[in-house]
């Protein structure tokens, strides 16, 4: 498919125990580009979710539970090959759901999906475990060594902003460790999780290892899954409030959770920063994927000597972004995910003005012609005149918006950046190497970048503090969540 307006309405069914099954009900998937219906999604009822969990348990207790690290690493590499063999199908599915530019879907979402499986194949193939020789006195000793075991059946709940990337970021380590999974993709982005089911089955995974249940949260598949007594762990990426709800659901059963939640990420720009390089980096960190990335920057603290020049530059960059259909030449920026989300973001645009913001760029809904009038479009927006007391600066907007705020000293900048309930990511921009290390380490976040943004080594720890999450994923850090360890002590 190369047309942004497909005529065929895709049927997206649940995937349970190796087969696609109808749902108890259906709902429409609406394109955020133009408001057209692009898919009919089968919503999983309680019985379907129960069947998926039971299928995962049978797989875990059966042949899948007997596989070795080498077996599972080989499977993950075949899955990566399968994604690449159907690369354009995944690109089309991603675009159908999100409306993001085709270059972004290719270079970020689908390419990273294949890389995630290969990375965790390498991790599980090389990961070691602790062993200690303990002196017990009297010339004797004991050998202590750890054994890693999978959790069992893991619920994987993923958001709509980077649906395939974040799905594979969780499914790959879960399978590498020997778990079976039940995936609940966002109702806004059901396509790639469904297509991945075909690839995983074709790669040779036993039935029940990978299951997909479609639906919503409360009173639907999300609630049915997190409440299910057959779930041994929950990994979730999404809003902080939803994470809190999931935690309440699983707390009575003491089910382990891994949460990557919201953020109100800061950039700290010192007046010795190279202007063009900093503008390039900030343009990405503010507006990539229409600001719908958990790591995107919404607060930019700029040292006063550079403030006016940088504010003018960012405003010019925002105005220069090209909004349009995913396959259109020159498109840099897609729509928000839905009309509902646009209404939320617009409410913050209105609030910012009420709080005294001076709008340097954007601030409204663009005029893109009648054929796109039904889409969830919004202008990339830059404000000044706000401070940390404003709701707009304290609450996550999750759109292409940024508040520019001046500071004078390094200590003031650190205090302003850390004045938040969130703690996911930050970036520091400076030519002073010592200050770069000092300030980056002082950020109360899980990820701290210097003179760059969104540069990732998949082996490095990923996660946040405070309202931004619990736990770390990435490389061996993912193995800590997806497995339990047993220490064996042998008296020698």
Return the active site residues.
Answer: 260, 294
CB count, 10 Å around CB of 8? 8
β strands within 294-400, DSSP E: 297-303, 358-361, 381-384
Nearest to 75, CA basis, from 169, 152, 171: 171
Which helix (H) or strand (E) is 236 found in, with range? strand 233-237
Tokens representing residue 447 in the block: 């990820």
The residue written with tokens 């399978």 in the block is 175
Contact 196, 165 (CB under 8 A): no
Contact 443, 454 (CB under 8 A): no
d(CA 459, CA 43): 35
**Burial class, 216, CB count within 10 angstroms (exposed 0-12 / middle 13-18 / buried 19+):** middle
Tokens representing residue 346 in the block: 């617009």
Q: What secondary structure, in 3-state letters, does 445-462 show? A: CCEEEECCCCCCCCCCCE
Which helix (H) or strand (E) is 57 found in, with range? helix 46-61
CA torsion through residues 94, 457, 440, 312, sign? negative
Contact 33, 4 (CB under 8 A): yes
CB count, 10 Å around CB of 367? 10
In this structure, are strands 381-384 and 401-407 parallel, antiparallel, or unpaired? parallel
Nearest to 110, CA basis, from 81, 86, 90: 90
Q: How many residues does the chain have?
A: 492
Which helix (H) or strand (E) is 153 found in, with range? strand 153-157
Q: Give the list of residues 6+ apart from residue 171 with CB closer than 8 angstroms, or none.
A: 156, 181, 183, 196, 210
d(CA 343, CA 194): 28
Q: Give the list of residues 6+ apart from residue 218 with CB closer than 8 angstroms, or none.
A: none
In this structure, are strands 19-21 and 14-16 parallel, antiparallel, or unpaired? antiparallel
CA torsion through residues 324, 326, 332, 337, sign? positive
CB count, 10 Å around CB of 277? 13
């Amino acid at each position: 498919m190369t047309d942004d307006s497909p005529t065929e309405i895709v049927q997206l069914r649940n995937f349970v125990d190796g087969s696609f099954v109808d749902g108890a009900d259906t709902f429409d998937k609406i394109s955020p580009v133009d408001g057209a219906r692009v898919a009919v999604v089968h919503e999983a009822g309680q019985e379907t979710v129960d069947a998926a969990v039971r299928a995962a348990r049978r797989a875990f207790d059966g042949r899948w539970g007997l596989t070795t690290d080498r077996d599972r690493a080989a499977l993950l590499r075949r899955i990566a090959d399968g994604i690449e063999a159907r690369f354009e199908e995944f690109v089309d599915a991603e675009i159908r759901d999100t409306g993001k530019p085709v270059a972004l879907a290719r270079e970020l979402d689908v390419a990273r999906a294949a890389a995630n499986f290969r990375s965790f194949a390498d991790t599980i193939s090389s990961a070691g475990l602790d062993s200690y020789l303990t002196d017990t006195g009297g010339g004797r000793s004991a050998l202590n060594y750890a054994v890693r075991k999978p959790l069992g059946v893991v619920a994987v709940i993923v958001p709509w902003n980077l649906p395939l990337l974040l799905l594979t970021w969780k499914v790959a380590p879960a399978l590498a460790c020997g778990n079976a999974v039940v995936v609940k993709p966002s109702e806004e982005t059901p396509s790639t999780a469904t297509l991945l089911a075909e690839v995983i089955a074709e790669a040779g995974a036993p039935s029940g290892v990978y299951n997909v249940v479609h639906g919503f949260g409360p009173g639907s598949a999300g609630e049915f899954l997190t409440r299910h007594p057959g779930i041994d762990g929950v990994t979730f990426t999404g809003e902080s409030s939803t994470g809190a709800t999931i935690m309440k659901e699983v707390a009575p059963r003491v089910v382990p959770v891994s949460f990557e939640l919201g953020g109100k990420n800061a950039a700290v720009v010192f007046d010795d920063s190279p202007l063009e390089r900093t503008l390039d980096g900030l343009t990405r960190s503010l507006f990539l994927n229409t600001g719908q990335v958990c790591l995107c920057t919404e607060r930019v603290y700029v040292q006063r000597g550079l403030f006016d020049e940088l504010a003018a530059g960012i405003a010019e960059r925002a105005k220069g972004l090209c909004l349009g259909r995913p396959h259109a030449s020159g498109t840099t920026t897609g729509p928000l995910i839905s009309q509902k989300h646009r209404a939320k973001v617009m409410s913050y645009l209105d609030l910012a003005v009420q709080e005294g913001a001076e709008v340097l760029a954007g601030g409204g809904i663009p005029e893109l012609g009648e054929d796109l009038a039904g889409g969830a479009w919004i202008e990339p927006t830059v404000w000044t005149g706000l401070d940390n007391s404003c709701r707009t600066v304290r609450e996550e907007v999750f759109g292409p918006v940024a508040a520019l705020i001046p500071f004078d000293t390094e200590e003031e900048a650190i205090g302003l950046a850390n004045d938040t309930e969130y703690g996911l990511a930050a970036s520091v921009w400076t030519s002073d190497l010592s200050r770069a290390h000092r300030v980056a380490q002082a950020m109360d976040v899980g990820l701290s970048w210097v003179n760059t943004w969104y540069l990732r080594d998949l082996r490095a720890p990923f996660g946040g503090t405070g309202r931004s999450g619990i736990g770390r994923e990435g490389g061996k850090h993912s193995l800590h969540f997806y497995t339990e360890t047993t220490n064996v002590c042998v008296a020698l």
